[in-house]
Amino acid sequence: MRVFFFIILGILHTTLQAQDIAVLHYKGGGDWYSNPTALPNLVAFCNANISTRISPKIEAVEPSSPDIFRYPFIHMTGHGNVFFDEDDKINLKNYLVSGGFLHIDDNYGLQPYITKALKDVFPNQDWVELPANHAIFQKPYAFPEGLPKIHEHDGKRPQALALFHKERMIVLFTFESDLGDGWEDEAIHNDPPEVRNKALKMGANIIYYVFNN
């Protein structure tokens, strides 16, 4: 049994070295599918500018599915309710502590639901705000003031909040920034090129950090 366990861990470790990303298809009625052009655009930007080899095909994966272990990077967004059942909680926690990473980008209104849902997964952990000098803001693009503001909602400052396991960042929650809207096709939000470029560069920093740490 122990041999089998270590074989499985080895397979998971190898799988999580791949450079593919997926979007989290969660329960609760929230629009997990929002910003459909965001990830394809971010992937194209990263492949063209920071030498990644991410598949342009973005799959949706449920938190309880074993398929989640195929992806070293899972993206989550939406505006509304989030619910993790017991299978979701167990599988998502195992994924994160075994090497996976979850990036949550609040598309406006997600914050109260996701913070409660993740508290059920990691009841003994609190969010840590990343300072502007954190490595995730340093390269390949410099953000000396930290997380950029892409879309205005409530006039609050943008925050990059993280959960850690054994000093490794396992969850990043970008709040009051709305990076995903900046990643979308230009015609959707009519953002000027400099705003979209800033959002894409910050997204590339997140991808770079995850794949190199």
pLDDT, one tens digit per residue, over 93-103 is: 999 999 999 99
Mean pLDDT of 111-130: 95
pLDDT at 158: 95
Mean pLDDT of 105-127: 93
Residue 131 sits in which domain range? 2-211
Mean pLDDT of 13-38: 83
Top pLDDT among 72 and 188 is at 72
pLDDT at 17: 52
Domain count, the chain: 1
Mean pLDDT of the chain: 90
- Assign residue 91 the CATH number of its domain: 3.40.50.12140
Give the range among 37-41, 106-110, 120-124 with minimum mean pLDDT: 106-110
Residue 18 — pLDDT band, cuts 50, 70, 90?
low
Share of the chain above pLDDT 70, in %: 91
Please say if the pLDDT value at position 10 is more than 60. Answer: no
Give the range among 66-75, 145-154, 155-164 with minimum mean pLDDT: 145-154
Please say if the pLDDT value at position 5 is more than 50. Answer: no
Give the predicted TM-score (pTM) of the model.
0.90
The residue type found at 21 is I
pLDDT at 160: 98
pLDDT at 171: 98
pLDDT at 200: 98
